[in-house]
């Protein structure tokens, strides 16, 4: 594609017309989309999580569906179901809401683990298997899930396998006072989402995702990524560290970050910037460390401090 940096900038600026004062968070959401990954947004209700997903879908011209996760939701309510047609005497497949290019799993941790697991195959393999038939999902495909903090009532913690399939986790947080006033003024007559249009299309988005994969990553940077992930596994406060899928997530997100910055190569700073958003949710703290209030952020920061940053190769100009 001609100018991937301009495409990413257009998407980000368009989304920021709806999500005010959250440039860094919007940028990371767009990075996840450009990386062909899934995004988990964790925060308290009312901070714009759902609207972020809608704005991304509208800005990219992608088909959009919303799945409201509740305790009584069944796996077939997500993936689809075969229904018997009395006229034809045969079963007909009726796809579920997961068959969209951007699928919003709203309040995902309010559903039971059985229903949460319905997303596992879709997120990893971009397909759904039901009644012995495998059906491909549309491309590009992204699951953007929102969840309330796990200490809230009526929530089920996401299983480790589910968390590991999200390329990145972000927190929106409360807006600054000036931004909150701007939200009030902007929604006085109509929500800004209704005036937002597409600035790209799924075909260009697919080309953008291919451009991300073409960004050069030096072998020393690859080693740096792997050593950071390995350091989280060896930390004495960790019960379960970042998986190899976490290394791949950091690798891909770093490529997207370099592209956004106008570079065709990854630097150690790209890796540092995205280490916590890509690895933090994959780390499980040991019970004894939880008592000491050790956090995943602390683990990632320790890993970054322990691992030597790669320098320039000797003899290479």
214 or 132, greater pLDDT: 214
Classify the C-alpha dihedral 145-197-136-76 as positive or negative. Answer: positive
pLDDT tens profile 230-283: 999 988 888 888 999 999 999 999 999 999 998 999 999 999 999 999 999 998
Q: Confidence band (pLDDT; 50, 70, 90) for 310?
A: confident
Beta bridge partners of 144: 39, 104
With a cut of 70, say whether residue 312 has pLDDT above it: no
Written out in words, the top-level CATH class of the domain with range 214-311 is mainly alpha
Query: At how many degrees (to 10) do helices 268-279 and 23-34 cross?
Result: 90
Is pLDDT at 107 greater than 70 in this prediction? Answer: yes
pLDDT at 314: 44
> pLDDT, tens digit, for every residue of 71-99?
888 888 899 888 888 888 888 888 889 99
Which listed CATH number (3.40.50.300, 3.40.50.150, 3.30.450.40, 3.90.230.10) goes with 1-211? 3.40.50.300
Please, what is the Cα angle at 11 between 9 and 247, to 5 degrees? 80
Mean pLDDT for the chain overall: 88
pLDDT of residue 315: 43
Spell out the domain ranges in the chain: 1-211, 214-311
Are 1-211 and 214-311 equal in CATH topology?
Answer: no
């Amino acid at each position: 594609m001609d100018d991937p940096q301009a495409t990413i900038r257009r998407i980000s600026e368009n989304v920021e017309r709806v999500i005010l004062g959250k440039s860094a968070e919007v940028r990371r959401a767009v990075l996840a989309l450009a990386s062909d990954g899934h995004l988990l947004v964790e925060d308290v209700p009312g901070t714009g999580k759902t609207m972020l997903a809608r704005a991304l879908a509208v800005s990219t011209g992608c088909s959009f569906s919303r799945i409201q996760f509740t305790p009584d939701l069944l796996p077939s309510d997500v993936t689809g179901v075969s229904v018997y047609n009395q006229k034809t005497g045969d079963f007909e497949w009726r796809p579920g809401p997961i068959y969209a290019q951007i699928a919003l799993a709203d309040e995902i941790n309010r559903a039971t683990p059985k229903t949460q697991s319905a997303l596992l195959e879709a997120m990893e393999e971009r397909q759904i298997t039901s009644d012995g038939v495998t059906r491909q999902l549309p491309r590009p495909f992204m699951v953007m899930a929102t969840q309330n903090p796990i200490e809230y009532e009526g929530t089920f913690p996401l299983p480790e396998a589910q968390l590991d399939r999200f390329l990145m986790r972000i927190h929106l947080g409360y807006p600054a006072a000036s931004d909150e006033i701007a939200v009030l003024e902007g929604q006085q007559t109509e929500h800004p989402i209704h005036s937002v249009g597409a600035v790209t299309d799924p075909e260009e988005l697919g080309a953008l995702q291919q451009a991300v994969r073409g960004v050069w990553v030096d072998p020393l940077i690859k080693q740096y990524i792997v050593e950071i992930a390995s350091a989280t596994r060896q930390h004495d406060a960790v019960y379960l560290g970042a998986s190899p899928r976490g290394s791949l997530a950091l690798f891909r997100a770093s490529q997207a970050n370099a592209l956004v910055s106008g570079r065709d190569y990854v630097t150690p700073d790209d890796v540092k910037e995205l280490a916590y958003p890509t690895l933090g949710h994959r780390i499980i703290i040991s019970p004894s460390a939880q008592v000491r209030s050790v956090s995943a952020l602390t683990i990632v920061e320790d890993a970054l401090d322990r691992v030597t940053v790669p320098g320039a190769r000797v003899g290479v100009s």
